[in-house]
Amino acid sequence: MRRIIRQRQLRARFFDGDLFADPAWDMLLDLTAARAEHARVSVTSLCIASGVPPTTALRWIGQMTDAGLLQRVEDETDRRRAFITLSDQAADGMARYFAELGSQAAALV
C-alpha cells in the first residue's frame, strides 16, 4: 500500500503536482495503509497526506465524513486532537477495489 502512495507522489517529479490533485483518493489510500498497519492517523497527518492546502483538506475530510466514508475519533488523552479512520463501508470498498485490481492484474499476465 505504501508503495502505491509513493508511486503516486513520484509523478510530481515529472509533472505539475496540481495536474494530479486528488485529495479524497490520497486520503483513502493513506487511511487504508494505516488501517493495515494498525496505526492511527491524526487530522493533521491526513491533511499532509492529501497533498493540498490544509483548508482544502479539512473541507474534504468534512465532506467524506458527511458521506459516511470517514469517522472522526476524539483523542481521549488530548481533547485538542482527533484521529480519522475509514468507516466500515469505506474499508470494505477499498478492500474490494484492491481485490479487483489484483484479479485484473493477474489476467494481464
Q: Where are the domains of the chain?
A: 2-108
DSSP 20: G
- The answer to whether residues 46 and 38 touch, using CB atoms and an 8 Å cutoff, is no
Instruction: Kindly indicate whether the domain formed by 2-108 is annotated with CATH number 1.10.10.10.
Output: yes
Question: Cell numbers at residue 103, please?
Answer: 484479479
Question: Cell numbers at residue 97, please?
Answer: 477495489
Query: Which of 7, 12, 59 minimizes the C-alpha distance to 29?
Result: 7
Q: Read off the pLDDT of each residue in 67-71 and give the average, rounded to a whole number.
A: 97
Q: How confident is the model at residue 106 (pLDDT cuts 50, 70, 90)?
A: low
Report pTM. Answer: 0.83
Residue 109 confidence (pLDDT): 46
Q: Read off the pLDDT of each residue in 38-54 and give the average, rounded to a whole number.
A: 95
Q: What is the H or E stretch that residue 34 is in? A: helix 23-36
Q: Read off the pLDDT of each residue in 20-27 and give the average, rounded to a whole number.
A: 87
Is residue 105 over pLDDT 50? yes
Sheet holding 70-74, edge to edge: 41-42, 82-86, 70-74
Residue 51, CB-side half-sphere exposure with 13 Å CA sphere:
22
d(CA 83, CA 42) in angstroms, rounded, equals 4
